[in-house]
Every structure is written in structure tokens, then in C-alpha cells.
Structure 1
Amino acid sequence: MTIKAFVTGGTGFIGANLVRLLLKEGYEVRALVRPQSNLDNLKNLDIEIVKGDLNDINLVEKIRGCHVLFHVAAHYSLYQADKDKLYESNVLGTRSILNAAKQANIERIVYTSSVAAIGVGKPGEIVNESHQSPVNKLVGHYKKSKYWAEQEAKKAIINGQDIVIVNPSTPIGPLDIKPTPTGDIILRFLRRQMPAYVNTGLNIIDVRDVAQGHLLALKKGMIGERYILGNKNLSLKALLEQLSLLTGLKAPQQTLPLWLPLTVAWMEETLFSPLGKKPSIPIDGVKMSKQPMYYDPSKAINQLGLPSSPIEIALKDAIDWFSNNGYA
């Protein structure tokens, strides 16, 4: 029997790569897309598309007939003006779809959380799934909303649902349609709009490995367990140097003192945003860069078989995709 997967967030970066992997592996896919969504990432794919929202009252009927659910959809924003939208989509939307999945007799769910929900340790510390920053220490409403959304998944598990939680770190690669903040770093580098950088770091992973991690979690993950889907801890400086090697463009050499982007971000979000000017830098994004966000993905590597593809390939494919699709 062919397994039918219901996927939320299929138009986005991780979701679009996951949909392609599922099709390649012989799954049938039904994707929930919002009426206003850009469908470019799903063009010419042999999938069933249903229009709707995570908080729709008729969500059960849209899911019914599927066997498994990948709940990938989330609202991502670091801007403080988006606070209400973050909680409505990420927390209430997760509660809604998990409840609908229970009524529709979904057999197993992979819930896409984020390392954002885990938080960070002491400066420079590499943390794993057992770490949890207190929710009041998580920087910004995006991270807090992902924490509370993960609590919705844990409540559903206690109430008998078969749910595995995955926590992707920072994916890079093709189909970054929005783009993500990391994709935006790559784009600003390609456009030569990055004269300096802040002294921070990230855990980077090929987005196609993240998609594999979702499928491996479905097949091998333990109910209620968290799995960090990550690969390589890199300073932002090292990431920019890697981009320089791949493109021949010069990497910025100057570091920015944190107070400078923080001041710009505060002015843009507090003074100019109410006047209708979209801020270019979020305050919370600058605050997050105060310390490196480094993670240990060994649990997913050892227990699920998460691949660790070379970051250089993912970066090159991201560069090529942005260039071929008119971004750079």
C-alpha cells in the first residue's frame, strides 16, 4: 500500500525539499497551502494541493485519508510587530492541526520544531537535545512561539498521539524562496552589500539533509523524542570566507560592534516602522547574534542515520539557485 503523507509548509524552504524527497521515495503527497501562498516551489509536482489554513474549522476533512503528517509550516519573523501572527500560526496552528490529525486517525506525525525552541548554552557552548533555556531567556517572540508550539506537541503525545519532534538548525541550499535569514546573508554577500559582519556563529546543514532527517524520523524516531537536524558549527566569518572561495568575491574583513546594528535596528523598528517603512534589521535578530548558536547533532546522526553532506555543496547549490532564479 502506498503511504499518503499530509504536508504543511510545502511551499517553503524545508517543506519543498521534503515534498520532493517523499515523491522520490514513492509516497503520495497532499499539501496544505494558504490561498495567498506562492506556489512556485510546488510547480509541476505530482501532488494533491488543498487550499486552507492551520486554523481552519474543516481541517479534519482536508487531512482525512492520509496516513502520516509532516507539520513543517511555521510563521518565521524576527520583527516585533509580528508577535500576534507568530503565536496564532505557530502555537494555535500547531494545536489545531494536531487535534485535527487525531480526529482524522493519522498514524504518525513528524513535527518540525527548531533549535530556536532549545535555546543556547553559555557563550561558546555546544548544546544538544537535553538542553533547554528557560522560556523567558529565549530571545524574541519567534523563539518563544516555537518553544510553546513544541509544548503543544508534547501535550498531544501525553494524550496518546505518535509524534516525533525534529529541531533543524540553519538549513542552506536550493528552493529558499523567501529567502530565509541565512539565505539573505548569502544574497547580500553576492550583491556585495555586506561590508562588515558581526562576530557570531551558526550550525549549518544542507536543506536536503534536513528533508532526509524528517523521513528518517518518521521511520526510526522514538515517540516524544527531540532530534537536532544539524551538521557543522561555523563562525559567520568562516561562512563568509567559504562563500568567497566559491564565488571569487572578497569576504568582508571588518567586524561590527554590536551596538551599531542594534541602534540601527531599534531606530528602524521603533521610529520608522510605524510610519510604514519596513525595517531592514530586526532588533531580535541582532540580539540573537550576541553569542554563537552551536549545536550537537550526534543523536540524530547515531540514532536516525542523519546524513552530513558537505556544507560547500549546499552553499554552491544555494548560490546557483539564487543566481538562476533572478535573486542575485
Structure 2
Amino acid sequence: MPAGETISPVSHYDPNLVRGLYAKTKAAASELVMDKVRNEGLDAVIIQPSGLIGPWCYSRENLIQFFVEVANEKLPATVNAGCDFVDVRDVAAATIRACIQGRCGQNYILSNRTWSMKQLGLMIAAANHFQPTRLTVPLWLASAATPFTALYYRLVDKEPLYTKIALETIESNSDFDNSKAVRDLDFHPRLMQETVTDTVAFLQSIFRIDQNRILARPALRTRKVSPAGKARS
């Protein structure tokens, strides 16, 4: 979908209209379900979340690794582009409601709003007073650097954050229309600041984020009383 156009739920899926094996398999599976609904009376709905984010993820997928590197002050730069992120807990709750009150054959987009990686990084830093990643690079420069960043992450035995596919994702249109989910499923995603704070706390609890890097809050100045009875600060 071109930038500037709103992405609404659809009723037909064509693998030939999307790029990448992942997207093609999702389109093929979704069309198979819709065909069963139309022709065999299958009672089903399709849930389409945007970028999932939130606590309780133990994997090292890109977004979790982004949290870890920002919080541990190991990410050299962010990009001022991003995509729509939605809390996984809100998606789980809406999925349960869709099984109970969703309308058969309908497709529900579960989205929140678009956040750039720079904005997300600042929220991660603010969650527990980390130093934020200060350098922001344009998307074209991050794309040009992917062969070198891939080599670096291979040498340190980590999954690269800014892969070609990841950069294409955050460059793509993410203006989703979730009004149908709001109406039918009472879907109301929480504030992203809550999601980020809870995710940081979870990653600290499993020791993925170094608590020693948390900056101390400014100490409150207290007034002491000298033996002579005079107050001093």
C-alpha cells in the first residue's frame, strides 16, 4: 500500500500481490481460510496485528534485541523511521474476544499507532533512566550500511538489528485502520509508554538488561541540623 493511504481490512488475499516468502505464506493461508468460510461454512475470523511488542518474550528477535542494546547503551545509532507497534497483551485479549463476539468471515486489524525507532529508543531510555542513543541516521544510510553491520553482528555472534528486510518494514506504510476491531471487539490498545516500561522490567528480571547501567535518580537534598541548632543544607 503506497504511503499516505490507509490500510483497511480486506476479504481477499493474493500471495502474488505481496513481497517476501513470509508475507506470501500468510496471504495463502488467509485466503484458504476465507475460501472455507465462503464455500464450506467454516466459522472463522482472521486477526491481523501490526508489529507485536511487549513483555514475556524470551527470544532474541529483532525488537527485543533493540530493547536490550538501547538499555545496555550498546546501540550506536537509531533511525528516524518506524512502524505501527501494538502490545501483545492487547492482541491476546482481542483474539479471545474475536472467538466469542467476532463476526464470521471478518478480518480485524489490531494496531496502535506508528512510532519511529528513535522515539521507541527514547521511551526505552526514559523507562528506567538509561542514557539514550544520541545518534540518529537517515534510513538511506542505514540501508547502505547493512552489509557492514551484518558482518559486525556475525563477528560478535548476534542477530543483526537493521537487516534489509527490517529496514524495508519500517520504511513501508503502516497507517492501519483498526476501527472495525474497536467497534466489534472493544479493542482499545494501551499507551506505548506502559508497554515499554513493562518490557524493560521483564528484560531486567531475566537479566537481559544490566541493572548496573541504570542511572541513579538525582538525590534529594536534605536539610541537616548542626549540633549548635543551625540548619544547613
Instruction: Report the TM-score range of the alignment, normalised by the length of the smaller protein.
Output: 0.7 to 0.9
* Residue pairs, 1:102-117, within 5 angstroms: none
**4+ runs deviating over 6 angstroms:** 131-134, 267-270
Inter-partner Cα distance in structure 2 for 1:131 and 1:193: 44
The one of 34, 59, 63 aligned to 1:154: 34
2:166 aligns to what? 285
* Residue pairs, 1:95-106, within 5 angstroms: none
2:146 aligns to what? 265
Highest Rg: 1 or 2?
Answer: 2
1:210 aligns to what? 91
Higher mean C-alpha displacement, 214-223 vs 126-135: 126-135
Deviation at 1:279, TM superposition (A): 5.7
Amino acid at match of 2:81: T
Runs of 5+ consecutive residues of structure 1 not aligned to the other structure = 1-120
1:128 aligns to what? 8
* Residue pairs, 1:153-192, within 5 angstroms: 153-158=33-38, 159-192=40-73
Inter-partner Cα distance in structure 1 for 2:201 and 2:96: 26
Give the alignment's TM-score, normalised by structure 2: 0.74
2:213 aligns to what? none
Give the alignment's TM-score, normalised by structure 1: 0.55
Q: Which has the higher contact order (CA 8 A, sep 6+)?
A: 2
> Are 1:244 and 2:97 matched, yes or no?
no
Inter-partner Cα distance in structure 2 for 1:147 and 1:133: 5
* Residue pairs, 1:1-328, within 5 angstroms: 121-130=1-10, 135-136=15-16, 138-158=18-38, 159-266=40-147, 280=160, 281-328=162-209
Amino acid at match of 1:151: E
Inter-partner Cα distance in structure 2 for 1:278 and 1:196: 17
Q: Percent identity?
A: 25
Runs of 5+ consecutive residues of structure 2 not aligned to the other structure = 210-233
Cα RMSD (Å)? 2.9
Contact 1:266–1:283 (Cα < 8 Å) also in 2: no
Contact 1:204–1:232 (Cα < 8 Å) also in 2: yes
Contact 1:170–1:205 (Cα < 8 Å) also in 2: yes
Question: 3-state SS of the aligned residue for 1:286?
Answer: helix
